Amino acid sequence: MKNMMLITSSWKNHETFKLIPTTQDCPYVEGIYDREIGVLALIGNVKKQQFHMVPKLDANGDPEMRKVVKDPTSQKPFKEERRSIETFQEYYLQEKSDIDQFINHFVLNADFNYSKYFEELPQVDPSVLADMPGAMMKIEG
């Protein structure tokens, strides 16, 4: 049942690998390896109803803003409501052996060098990030 293909991609500003379906009967829509947390996230083609908190919209389709925000650090400035939304089933593989077995079972190009993305990401000095455009604060040290 080899009906997926590995490709090089990027996620959260890091190079990684992604899985894409190659046939209509593939049980997965996509997969991507998150290098920061070491998890292969897979999106199945089975849909389910799930509750999510979504912004409450006014008659114009804009988010309704709160009149008073008691704690701006933890409270969103707009109102939310709970809605049932149809989403795809998600699966998460964390063990390297499980990821290897999955790839060997489902992937056409299993000889793709995906294991290089298992290497730990280099640590970034926070002071470097503070100087980047869009930084919230500058760390003095």
Express each pLDDT in 47-62 by its tens digit. Answer: 989 898 999 999 999 9
- Tens-place pLDDT, residues 68-121: 888 877 788 899 999 999 989 999 999 999 999 999 999 999 999 999 999 877
The residue among 37, 18, 36 whose CA lies nearest residue 28 is 18
- In the block, tokens 């593989």 appear at 93
- In the block, tokens 């991507």 appear at 32
pTM value is 0.68
